[in-house]
Structure 1
Amino acid sequence: MNALKFFLGTGCYSGLFPKTPGTAGSFVMLFPLYFILQLNSTWLILLIVTVSCLICIWVAGYFEEKYDKDPGLLVMDEWAGQSLTFLTIGLTGNPEDHIIILLTGFVLFRFFDLLKPLGVKKMQDMPGGWGIFVDDLLAGLYALLCLKTLIFVWPNIFGMV
């Protein structure tokens, strides 16, 4: 059972990247998101966020006991936050524009996840493993709001005209 927890918690081993496991885990999540976003299904993204959160809750105790509080190799929380960044974003049109949207969302999420402004850092203090992923959800929400704003302000850049 611990092997399954390790596999899922590390985001199919993407969290084993040596220097920046959270960034690697977030980047790996872009690949399934690319295909899922083309379906324009908010419900499917919401399902991914929910399942990622449930997995994170399930594996958090194992990772905290074996490694440390919120260890870097646990990236299922990044998967949840990175997915939330694209909750209401649909990909249509030119595939090059899709890459721009995905990379912009990725950079925005990593910005909020790493710097932890606007209350994101405070969320880490939540007990019982909740703090592990709630800060990533808030970072993902901020990234979503910024991405939607950028698409609204500069639709040409994102192929939304």
Structure 2
Amino acid sequence: MIARAIATLGGVGYLRPAPGTWGSAASLPLAYLLHILGGPWALVAGLGLACALGWWATWVETRDSANHDPSEIVIDELAGQWIALLPVSFGAAIAGADILALYPGWIAAFLLFRLFDITKPWIIGWADRRGDALGVMLDDIFAGAFAALGVAALAALAHLAFV
């Protein structure tokens, strides 16, 4: 029961269509809350907890199933989306800015994460093909890392354009 609630983000994973996109969207206000409560380091701590609990919950939910990555499991989307948002959170903290003022970064993080999670290039696809609970989590962690790099690059370009 607890594992299913964690794996599906309290049932968000049952929303259709595109449960992964719903999981990513649901993670945004939670990231905002963590940032408001404790800045980027609270988001990092939350991410660590989400990864550990997500791996466990995914393992519990898939251990007796032929389907290693059921679409209702979206805790991996939360982890990946939070990674994609790290440059925004750290950028807001460093600049002393309201994190919502960096809304282009939020949009870029969401879109880039979804792009990498759906297309699964390179190591993201490798992780997805592992066929186990760790692979379920890793593909989104890698997609989030690629998205975070994209967000940071786009922010750098934007700042150079307005200097």
TM-score band, normalised by shorter chain: 0.7 to 0.9
**One-letter amino acid of the structure 2 residue matched with residue 79 of structure 1:** L
Over the aligned positions, Cα root-mean-square deviation in angstroms equals: 2.4
Q: Which residue of 1 aligns with 2:123?
A: 119
**One-letter amino acid of the structure 1 residue matched with residue 87 of structure 2:** T
8 Å CA contact 2:13, 2:22 repeated in 1? yes
Q: Which residue of 1 aligns with 2:112?
A: 108
Q: Which residue of 1 aligns with 2:8?
A: 10
Q: Which residue of 2 aligns with 1:41?
A: 39
CA distance in 1, matches of 2:138, 2:99: 34
- Count of aligned pairs: 156
Tell me: CA distance 1:131–1:99, structure 2 relative to 1, closer, same or farther (3 Å): same
Q: Which residue of 2 aligns with 1:23?
A: 21
**One-letter amino acid of the structure 1 residue matched with residue 69 of structure 2:** D
Query: Structure 2 regions of 5+ residues with no counterpart?
Result: none
CA distance in 2, matches of 1:106, 1:153: 18
8 Å CA contact 2:5, 2:11 repeated in 1? yes
Structure-2-length-normalised TM-score? 0.84
The CA deviation at 1:105 is 0.5
CA deviation vs aligned residue, 1:34-57 (integer Å, no higher than 9, x gap): 233356733222212211111122
The CA deviation at 1:32 is 1.7
Sequence identity of aligned pairs in percent?
25
- Which is richer in helix? 2
Q: Which residue of 2 aligns with 1:74?
A: 73
Query: Structure 1 regions of 5+ residues with no counterpart?
Result: none
8 Å CA contact 1:83, 1:140 repeated in 2? yes
Q: Does 1:134 align with 2:138?
A: yes
**One-letter amino acid of the structure 1 residue matched with residue 48 of structure 2:** T
Structure-1-length-normalised TM-score? 0.85
Per mean C-alpha deviation after superposition, the further-off stretch among 49-58 and 74-83 is: 49-58
CA deviation vs aligned residue, 1:26-80 (integer Å, no higher than 9, x gap): 1010012123335673322221221111112211233213572111100011111
**One-letter amino acid of the structure 2 residue matched with residue 73 of structure 1:** E
**One-letter amino acid of the structure 2 residue matched with residue 48 of structure 1:** G
Q: Give SS of 1:33's match.
A: helix
